[in-house]
Amino acid sequence: MREKAFLRLLETPVLRYLGKISYGMYVYHFPLIWFVARIRDFGLTEEIAKPLTLLIAAILVPLVASVSYRWLEKPILDQKDRFFSLKENHAA
């Protein structure tokens, strides 16, 4: 019973979309967090800088990953079948 509920959760539109952009989130999360953490250079205290870094990064990472997916990854993935068909002719 719990397995079916878990599978239904994984099929929700939000989690399906996060699955699509997950590679971009993986690639961009570290540089974005590093960049956003430079907010400390403005003299903010740690107790303000840490939650603010988390908030800004939590917004930027999926946003940048979405833009990357839409304009970089998806066009390349759409061309994949054109150049790498599963039904390649291997006539000998």
Quote the pLDDT of residue 2: 82
Structural domains counted in the chain:
1
For residue 88, give the amino acid letter: E
**Is 92 a member of any domain?**
no
**Is 7 a member of any domain?**
no
Quote the pLDDT of residue 21: 97
* DSSP H or E segment with residue 30: helix 13-36
Quote the pLDDT of residue 24: 97
**Is 5 a member of any domain?**
no
| For range 66-81, the mean pLDDT | 93
**Is 76 a member of any domain?**
yes
Question: Which residue range is the domain that position 45 belongs to?
Answer: 21-82
**Is 90 a member of any domain?**
no
**Angstrom distance (rounded) from CA 22 to CA 90:** 35
Q: What is the pLDDT of residues 19-57, one digit of tens each?
A: 999 999 999 999 999 999 999 999 999 999 999 999 999
Sole residue written with tokens 């939650």: 51
**Is 8 a member of any domain?**
no
**Is 87 a member of any domain?**
no
Residue 18 has pLDDT above 80, yes or no: yes
